[in-house]
């Protein structure tokens, strides 16, 4: 788009004009688009040079009028120059607004992100978890560093966020920040959410993500086998703290609860189910979906063990859960003690429930999905993909049926 500006002064006669002085207007033209401004001055048509855009004559009043018009013209040029230097959009209307002092303050990307994060923070515990808020803060940090590195400025006009920005930010996350593919797409997704809000508010004219494509890679989910669970349960821990972490981890292996959900578990989450047995009833912090599942006897024993624990009594919780960071640190120590060479985190318990505890024991996929609180069964199906053992068990029926029969037929000589 051309950035050249053209300024002319002209007389603007009304439709019912018959005689007398006519108002003088200034017209700004940029890239074929026009904007008009009243000069608050008048001139008789006979005393006006249309090609020069000035009044005719040498009288002091005429000279003063022309000098005034020259000053206006210089101010318009200056407003246009400042817009270009600031990297802002310099349309005819923007130049007019800048000259009149009515130019709206351009919304910047960081302002949009910070405003979004403030709203998220205000809803902590209601609609958002601390881990979600932490992700948004980290995303803001990455974008700040990217803008400074790429554009050498502390902030960026929101209208400059285009496909090129998104593509370069993607590369920055992968190269400079050393983010994995899925981590990169997570931060891109957080940015996309804020940009979509800006589009709905009319702060952006086009979607910078329109042609951006990113595909999440399905990673192999770490889970523990039945033998490994038994080894952890039977191992005598050297400290009470390790025993405590071990018990809470096993409880989640038996219930499928995520860290945030088990941390908030209270007495009111224990209910009597439709079968008259003890059930858990919770609302997943991550998705807000309700989850109900029968409480296995082993899980109930763990809860009973901590009924009188000081931390549980003080906080009205069922289990004395430490911070996620400490739980993971102790879990690593527990795995070393038990001789389990796997990258186990607290979330591994949820994967273990979905695989070893339920699917491998014949629990239908639909039931597992409901107990996990998944909003889509496709999420649950990812667990089934890693169960080679389950495939082996399913095929054993066919193996027993067809292999002996084929072997007998093969042993019979041809006539």
Look at residue 173 in the predicted model and tell me its pLDDT.
Answer: 94
Neighbours of 86 (CB within 10 A): 12
Which helix (H) or strand (E) covers residue 33, if one does? strand 33-43
Residues 255, 252: Cα–Cα separation, whole Å: 5
Amino acid 62: pLDDT? 92
Sheet with 278-283: strands ordered across: 270-272, 278-283, 290-294
Interval 344-387: pLDDT, tens: 888 888 888 888 888 778 777 777 777 777 766 676 666 665 55
Q: What are phi and psi of 377, to 5 degrees?
A: -70, -20
pLDDT at 125: 73
- pLDDT score at 332: 92
pLDDT in tens, 72-122: 999 999 989 888 887 777 888 888 888 887 655 568 899 999 999 999 888
Task: Tell me what pLDDT residue 15 has.
Answer: 83
Determine if the pTM surpasses 0.75: no
Radius of gyration over alpha carbons of the chain, in Å? 35
pLDDT at 273: 80
- Number of Cβ within a 10 Å radius of residue 320: 19
Neighbours of 74 (CB within 10 A): 11
The pLDDT score that the predictor gives to residue 405 is 54
pLDDT tens over the chain, length 415 residues: 457 899 999 999 888 888 889 999 999 999 888 999 999 999 999 999 999 999 999 899 999 999 999 999 999 999 898 888 877 778 888 888 888 876 555 688 999 999 999 998 888 877 777 878 888 999 999 999 999 999 998 988 888 899 999 999 999 999 999 998 989 999 999 999 999 998 888 788 789 998 888 877 766 678 888 899 999 988 888 889 999 999 999 999 988 888 888 888 888 888 888 888 888 888 776 666 778 888 888 989 999 998 888 888 888 888 998 988 899 999 999 999 899 998 888 888 888 888 888 877 877 777 777 777 776 667 666 666 555 555 666 666 666 665 555 555 555 455 4
pLDDT of residue 65: 93
All domains in the chain, ordered by first residue: 5-100 (no CATH), 109-200 (1.10.150), 226-392 (1.10.443.10)
- Spatial distance between the Cα atoms of 196 and 199, rounded to a whole number of angstroms: 5
The pLDDT, as a whole number, for residue 188 is 93
């Amino acid at each position: 788009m051309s950035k050249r500006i053209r300024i002319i002064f002209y007389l603007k006669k009304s439709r019912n004009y018959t005689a007398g002085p006519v108002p003088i207007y200034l017209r700004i033209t940029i890239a074929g688009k026009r904007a008009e401004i009243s000069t608050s001055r008048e001139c008789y048509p006979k005393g006006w040079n249309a090609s020069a855009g000035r009044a005719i004559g040498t009288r002091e009043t005429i000279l003063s009028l022309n000098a005034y018009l020259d000053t206006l013209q210089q101010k318009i040029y200056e407003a246009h120059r400042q817009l270009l230097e600031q990297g802002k959009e310099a349309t005819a209307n923007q130049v007019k607004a800048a000259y009149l002092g009515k130019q709206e303050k351009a919304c910047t990307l960081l302002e949009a992100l910070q405003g979004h994060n403030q709203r998220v923070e205000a809803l902590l515990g209601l609609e958002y978890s601390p881990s979600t808020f932490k992700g948004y803060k980290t995303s803001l940090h990455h974008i700040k560093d990217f803008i400074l590195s790429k554009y050498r400025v502390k902030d960026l006009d929101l209208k400059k966020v285009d496909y090129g920005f998104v593509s370069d930010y993607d590369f920055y996350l992968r190269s400079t920040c050393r983010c994995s593919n899925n981590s990169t797409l997570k931060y891109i997704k957080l940015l996309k959410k804020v940009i979509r809000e800006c589009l709905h508010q009319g702060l952006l004219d086009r979607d910078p993500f329109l042609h951006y494509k990113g595909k999440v890679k399905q990673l192999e989910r770490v889970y523990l086998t039945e033998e490994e669970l038994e080894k952890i349960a039977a191992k005598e821990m050297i400290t009470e703290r390790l025993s405590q972490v071990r018990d809470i981890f096993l409880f989640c292996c038996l219930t499928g609860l995520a860290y945030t959900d088990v941390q908030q578990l209270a007495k009111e989450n224990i209910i009597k189910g439709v079968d008259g047995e003890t059930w858990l009833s919770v609302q997943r912090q991550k998705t807000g979906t309700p989850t109900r599942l029968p409480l296995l006897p082993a899980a109930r024993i763990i809860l009973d063990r901590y009924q009188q624990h000081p931390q549980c009594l003080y906080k009205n919780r069922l289990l004395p859960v430490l911070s996620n960071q400490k739980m993971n640190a102790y879990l690593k120590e527990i795995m070393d003690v038990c001789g389990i060479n796997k990258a186990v985190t607290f979330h591994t318990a949820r994967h273990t429930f979905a695989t070893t505890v339920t699917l491998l024991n014949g629990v239908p996929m639909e039931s597992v999905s409901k107990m996990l609180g998944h909003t889509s069964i496709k999420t649950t199906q990812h667990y089934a993909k890693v169960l080679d053992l389950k495939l082996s068990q399913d095929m054993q029926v066919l193996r027993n049926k067809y292999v002996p029969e084929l072997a007998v037929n093969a042993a019979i000589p041809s006539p």
